[in-house]
Structure 1
């Protein structure tokens, strides 16, 4: 973004240009009304910002006269550097400013490094497909079959705590599945209409919400009040509603003992799932610590 400093573009206008860039990259289009609504500005100011963006990146946008929308061109190259880690957090929290700069302030906050960060251009194509309800053709590399072309209808991007996944209908297996984003090497959006059975509403594991009751582990924790404080429990219970498709990820991430009688030992198991019967029917429970479906479930 240093190129803007020489051109004398103000910080506020950088934000508006970054928003245009963000919409083009992750939605595939924008209109003047997007700018006027977001920044509470008049049409004339929005027109000037669009003209400046076109001056800086003349090959990035194409005007569709019938809709008065500006579309991402085939030669699109983002004007701004959309940092992968920051942008994924923004997308997860519905933040669409497109602007990564926070000035010269260095905040005293740190976090463990992520070992795998998806390609932001792969993410952008998938987000475009999701927002516009389009299928995609991807090159996906799996542990079992290597690299191959797959046709997917993506509907959500998920952080499971360790990796980013895209949840999608897979036309090969005719089922909804999770695909690791870092294993996707190419995405091509297809101009097709998705079938009703490929829609997110038909992903029953995604649409089903499971009530989980997490409590301090009755055998591994000497002072349960400390655990209750850690997780903001009320009356010693943390109650969550989790999608069935994501339940296994959450339980593994937080090392929740899912055995019937809190049988897992070790300091890493500080939580126990009190109502394990709620897990019946969830499909990704092989990764949930200690979970084995019993005749009583």
Structure 2
């Protein structure tokens, strides 16, 4: 976690130098809205901390990553860099940002007063009475739940909660709550009692075996697979969402292997946790 502005600038030094190939005091100052002297101090402090990561190029007047560069503050996942690039609000120079386009999901309406009570219920581990609609029950249906976590599944936000009607932990789509909510008393049904949430499982994926060896190799390279397999660790409660995001159809194979691409190898082991 980046606790201070100094921490964030150190992270930014590493992020930009690693993915863009270099950074200097002028660029850092412009990006962070600080003076050049402070930016120079930040670069010096970073080099003292990670002495083998950057070397100075007098001709380019830029600190560049060395062949011994080791990620100390960043993950090394390009998504981290792209998320930062797409989130910049006011790039100061044409060279500080790459052209990009982000897909935007349609907004889901959630009433602010309801959200405030859901947040309070989570923080205080309280029961809360809500009205909820679903495709199976499109009419308003009163429920008493004990929420513990908000979950972003990629396309929409869910709320993980104990449901007194179902006597189980369920996922509730935030945009399907209706009306007002009423906070009730405390409950012992918290996150610690959610077995599916507390259980970690491994999903083992592999290229569709119907693909040719050359095409399987493409998929293996896409996901940096080891020995032809991709192993993903996830909470059991989130396994289905992860498979959906990976576009893994485990119920039936797509007729076209190029469309299927990935299969779930250990389906029998994790089936109990899937919808």
Q: Among residues 238, 246, 252, which one is paired with 2:244 in the alignment?
A: 252
Question: Counterpart of 1:16?
Answer: none
Q: Among residues 235, 246, 255, which one is paired with 1:243 in the alignment?
A: 235
Question: Counterpart of 2:20?
Answer: none
Equivalent-residue separation in structure 1 for 2:211 and 2:118 (angstroms): 43
Equivalent-residue separation in structure 1 for 2:117 and 2:226 (angstroms): 42
Task: Indicate yes or no: 2:170 matched with 1:180.
Answer: no
Equivalent-residue separation in structure 2 for 1:233 and 1:118 (angstroms): 39
Q: Which moved more, 1:105-114 or 1:177-186?
A: 105-114
- What TM-score do the two structures reach when normalised by structure 1? 0.54
Q: Deviations over 1:131-159 (max 9, x none)?
A: 22222222211222211222110011112
Equivalent-residue separation in structure 1 for 2:161 and 2:180 (angstroms): 13
- What TM-score do the two structures reach when normalised by structure 2? 0.58
Q: Among residues 183, 186, 195, which one is paired with 1:190 in the alignment?
A: 183
Aligned-pair CA distance for 1:176: 1.0
The secondary structure found in structure 2 opposite 1:228 is helix
The secondary structure found in structure 2 opposite 1:256 is coil
Task: Indicate yes or no: 2:263 matched with 1:278.
Answer: no
Task: Indicate yes or no: 2:217 matched with 1:225.
Answer: yes
Aligned-pair CA distance for 1:181: 0.7
Aligned-pair CA distance for 1:186: 3.9
The secondary structure found in structure 2 opposite 1:109 is coil
Aligned-pair CA distance for 1:127: 2.8
Aligned-pair CA distance for 1:278: 1.9
Question: Counterpart of 2:150?
Answer: 157
Equivalent-residue separation in structure 2 for 1:168 and 1:181 (angstroms): 11
Gaps of 5+ in 1: 1-11, 13-92, 94-100, 285-297
Question: Counterpart of 1:125?
Answer: 117
The secondary structure found in structure 1 opposite 2:185 is coil
Alignment RMSD (CA, Å): 2.8
Change (3 A) 1:226 1:215: same
Question: Counterpart of 2:203?
Answer: 212
Question: Counterpart of 2:13?
Answer: none
Equivalent-residue separation in structure 1 for 2:115 and 2:220 (angstroms): 37
Aligned-pair CA distance for 1:185: 2.5
Aligned-pair CA distance for 1:130: 1.4
Gaps of 5+ in 2: 6-79, 81-86
Equivalent-residue separation in structure 1 for 2:196 and 2:116 (angstroms): 25
